[in-house]
């Protein structure tokens, strides 16, 4: 088979494939063997006639169509593997020459990932940070547990820190008076002193009673999540609907026993510390892996097809939309809050999406260079472990689907490759 490669752009390739006679003859024989299974030839039982007689007795148009379909697929895959290409889109195929079963030529244009040039990743070092849990961390969880189980009692006095207020609020630009999307709410429960709102907001409610109204201006932090609100002066109109005093449980052994199978407060605190430590270690591990891979990716060189980055942006936005649903916000409200349209939001994600794609490609290249593989036995063992965690039969059946098996294998390959990178980074 003769393959000619033309570089249309850094991420676009045109292949011209000319099949040799031996490949054509072999494929034709295979196609005839497949078609003979259902061919009806006089004097022979179905599927038993010789290939030459089958060819004479079947529809020649159907034979050519089946041959060409299989030939293009097989020879294209062979060309991709021979040229060591990483296609990311379906190819645009054009049949340029075909003389039945003697000459075949076609072209295939396809987007590909460019060559990946890695840095000397074995010399990239990164210190592993320890996951420390403080007494304040444990006490914070304890206080949250107390507040969840607190008995609320409506009071007529002025609100103080530790009280829960029910409020209506509206935000406007302090200079123009224009309403700002995402800065209003109704019947909103706010625990004073929780620091869950914009800094300074909760302090403004201290001293107010049910029925009181107040207008005040808050300057949003420089690093606030929504860029259009960063360092912005917003005037809030607030009405207090209700003030409730929280009757917290006494912090003692009896309280601990209401939370779980704990006989003492000390046992509860020890269990909380254990869980927090595990969570922080997992978070630290993920952060370490991401930082290490980012260090390598930034120093790597690779031409990435635009379509691949666009797909990653689409995934990022879908995840963002799911999170907005939990917050009770529409996509348009989110766009209005950021002060941009859908196209600008999409492009805003491009640098981060490109870094993610680059990281994935780099990780795959490292796995290849390190000859890291995952055996079928390893995948089977992981699936059995997962089935043990999910006794539901429907979920177990999902784990046996080919696409999920492939996904599990990919994750295991990622885990092994990251393990290798950690070993180099920590030496």
Q: Is the pTM of this model over 0.95?
A: no
- The stretch 300-314 carries a mean pLDDT of 94
Inter-residue contact 300 to 117 (CB < 8 Å): yes
In terms of DSSP bridges, do strands 12-18 and 2-9 run parallel, antiparallel, or are they unpaired?
A: antiparallel
DSSP for residue 5: E
- The stretch 323-343 carries a mean pLDDT of 82
Residue 238 CB-density burial (10 A; 0-12 exposed, 13-18 middle, 19+ buried): buried
Query: Among 6-20, 45-59, 159-173, 299-313, where is mean pLDDT lowest?
Result: 45-59
More confident residue, 229 or 201: 201
Among 340, 346, 342, 289, smallest CA distance to 312 is for 346
Inter-residue contact 202 to 193 (CB < 8 Å): yes
Rounded Cα distance between 35 and 32, Å, is: 5
Who's near 286: CB < 8 A, 6+ residues apart? Answer: none
Query: Among 64-73, 101-110, 222-231, 341-350, where is mean pLDDT lowest?
Result: 222-231
- The stretch 404-412 carries a mean pLDDT of 92
Among 374, 263, 304, 246, smallest CA distance to 11 is for 304
């Amino acid at each position: 088979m003769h393959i000619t490669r033309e570089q249309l752009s850094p991420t676009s390739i045109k292949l011209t494939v000319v099949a040799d006679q031996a490949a054509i003859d072999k494929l034709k024989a295979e196609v005839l063997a497949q078609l003979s299974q259902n061919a009806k030839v006089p004097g022979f039982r179905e599927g038993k006639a010789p290939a030459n007689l089958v060819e004479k007795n079947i529809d020649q148009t159907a034979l050519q169509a089946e041959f060409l379909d299989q030939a293009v697929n097989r020879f294209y895959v062979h060309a991709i593997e021979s040229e060591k290409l990483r296609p990311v889109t379906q190819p645009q195929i054009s049949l340029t020459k075909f003389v039945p079963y003697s000459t075949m030529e076609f072209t295939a244009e396809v987007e590909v990932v460019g060559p990946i040039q890695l840095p000397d990743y074995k010399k990239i070092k990164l210190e592993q940070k320890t996951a420390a849990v403080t007494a304040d961390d444990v006490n914070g969880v304890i206080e949250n547990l107390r507040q969840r189980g607190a008995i609320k009692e409506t009071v007529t006095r002025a609100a103080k820190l530790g009280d829960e207020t029910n409020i209506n609020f509206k935000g406007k630009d302090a200079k123009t008076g224009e309403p700002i999307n995402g800065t209003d709410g109704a019947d909103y429960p706010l625990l004073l002193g929780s620091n869950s709102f914009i800094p300074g907001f909760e302090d403004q409610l201290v001293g107010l009673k049910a029925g009181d109204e107040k207008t005040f201006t808050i300057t949003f932090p420089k690093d606030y999540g929504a860029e259009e609100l960063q360092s912005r002066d917003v005037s809030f109109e607030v009405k207090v609907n209700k003030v409730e005093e929280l009757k917290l449980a006494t912090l003692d052994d009896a309280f601990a026993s209401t939370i779980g199978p704990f006989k003492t407060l000390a046992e509860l605190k020890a269990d909380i510390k254990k869980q927090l430590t595990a969570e922080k270690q997992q978070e630290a591990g993920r952060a370490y892996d991401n930082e290490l891979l980012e260090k390598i990716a930034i120093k790597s060189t690779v031409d990435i097809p635009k379509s691949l980055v666009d797909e990653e942006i689409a995934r990022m936005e879908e995840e963002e939309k799911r999170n907005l649903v939990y917050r009770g916000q529409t996509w348009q409200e989110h766009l209005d809050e950021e002060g941009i349209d859908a196209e600008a939001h999409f492009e805003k994600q491009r640098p981060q999406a490109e870094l993610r794609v680059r990281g994935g490609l780099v990780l795959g290249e490292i796995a290849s260079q390190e000859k890291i593989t995952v055996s079928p036995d390893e995948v089977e063992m992981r699936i059995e472990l997962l089935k043990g965690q999910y006794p539901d039969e429907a979920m177990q059946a999902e784990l046996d689907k080919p696409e999920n098996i492939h996904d599990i294998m990919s994750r295991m390959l990622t885990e092994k490759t990251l393990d290798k990178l950690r070993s180099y980074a920590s030496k």
